[in-house]
Amino acid sequence: MNLRRTISLILTAIPRAVHRRGFGVQSPWAYELIRDVLFEKLSYYAYDEQKLSTPMQQQLFRIRNHFQGQPIIVIDEKGEKAVQRDEEVLQTATPDTVLIIEHINDENADLWTKMVDDSRAIITFDMRKRGLVIFDKKRIKQNYIL
């Protein structure tokens, strides 16, 4: 691992540690989402039934369960395919759309940076490997590093 990457990991670890369990988050909506959906430790009713064994699968299930009835789009591609799919999503996104971008710490890091800076992406949650984007214009623009 090179020095620049090590420094970057250290500098992002501090804000992540503060907000990981929702501490320091002022919005009740975001606090509830962080605590009860993104980083819930208890077992859900359907983990065994649907054979969800990894924490990433379980987290995706909780997100889908929480945002029932809203369009949820998952970009699991990497590189140029992810960028193309992201452009399609941004053009058709409604305030109810929930976007999940995978691999934001490596292959899709540039895409994630662009998404955080985009004015259409109102609330973003950076969870190291996965990013969650909310397009609800009734909320204030915010980026949470978890």
Summarised one tens digit per residue, pLDDT across range 100-111 is: 999 998 899 999
CA–CA distances in Å: residue 111 to residues 84, 101, 107, 130, 140: 10, 9, 9, 12, 22
Which residue shows structure tokens 């399609």?
88
- What tens digit of pLDDT does each residue of 1-38 get? 578 777 776 776 666 555 555 667 888 899 999 989 99
Write down the residue that tokens 């990981």 correspond to: 20
103, 128 contact by CB (below 8 A): no
Q: What is the pLDDT of residues 40-71, one digit of tens each?
A: 888 887 888 999 999 999 999 999 999 999 99
* Integer angstrom CA distances of residue 88 from 16, 19, 81, 95, 99: 30, 31, 11, 15, 12
Cβ-count burial 96-125 (b if 16+ within 10 Å, e if not): ebbbbbbbbbeebeebbeebbeeeebbbbb
134-146 residue pLDDT tens: 999 999 999 998 8
Share of the chain above pLDDT 70, in %: 90
pLDDT for res 4: 78
Tell me the residue type at 67: F
pLDDT for the residue numbered 95: 95
- Helices marked H in the chain: 3-19, 28-33, 55-66, 80-92, 109-117
Cβ–Cβ contacts within 10 Å for residue 52, how many? 18
